[in-house]
Amino acid sequence: MMSGDERMKMSIAAVLTWMALTGTGYAQAPAPAGESSKGYVEGVAQSAFGNVTSQSFGVELGFTVASPIQVFVDVGYVRDAAPSDLGASALVIAGFLSQTQNNVTFSGKEPITFGLAGLRYRIRSSAKVEPYLLAGGGMAQVKKDVSFSVNGSDVTATLPQLGVVLGTDLSGSETKPMATLGVGLVWPAWQHLIIDFQYRYGRVFTSEQGLNVSRAGIGIGVQF
């Protein structure tokens, strides 16, 4: 049977293929209503999923360089993209503390702050909505945010006094390259107001096994 990650990759490939075929079919269609726009800016709210499910927020802006090509910049924050081994490592520490302490609990997450840039290809369509494809890359900071509590009190800062020193698998941060692919549909809702229904797939090339994070949501902004 296919793993969840394999199914996700196959779904992404199917969506990208469909969008590409759609673009071919509309190659001779008249230019969309927003074709003459110089650019856009939008605030973005998304559901982030992959290893865990969380939320993502950010800002995206773009400028037309040669119709139908735009250069885009995407800056955002994913609340949590922690792999399963983060919780497994934290559980080992909690088990050690439980040998001498009562009511040991822990929490762990791995937020990502990123900045991306690339190209967005607007697919001509006779419909009111405008489909597009995009690809790009940039940098992402991944932070391991793990805390431990004993009897309801946070003891993360005093763990050395309890005989524990957290390694790089449970603490610290790193800044690594990130790649992204995406698809979307832009709806010109009213005058310059646009609503962007979007999906983004990202890969952060961390020093460990790497992180996959998908973001699906909506952007609301203006085109100018």
- CATH number for the domain spanning 85: value is 2.40.160.20
Q: Has this prediction a pTM greater than 0.95?
A: no
Give pLDDT, residue 157.
92
- pLDDT for 8 beyond 50: no
Task: Answer yes or no: are the C-beta atoms of 72 and 134 closer than 8 Å.
Answer: yes
- pLDDT for 2 beyond 90: no
CA atoms of 81 and 115, how far apart (whole Å):
16
CA atoms of 93 and 150, how far apart (whole Å):
12
Range of the domain at 118: 4-223
Provide the number of structural domains found in the chain.
1
- pLDDT for 23 beyond 90: no
List residues bridging with 2 in a β-sheet. Answer: none
- pLDDT tens for each residue of 83-141: 888 989 999 999 999 999 999 999 999 999 999 999 999 998 777 899 999 999 999 99
What value does the mean pLDDT take over residues 215-220? Answer: 97
What percent of the chain is modeled with pLDDT above 90? 71
Give pLDDT, residue 14.
47
Give pLDDT, residue 127.
79
Give pLDDT, residue 32.
47
CA atoms of 108 and 110, how far apart (whole Å):
7
What value does the mean pLDDT take over residues 11-37? Answer: 45
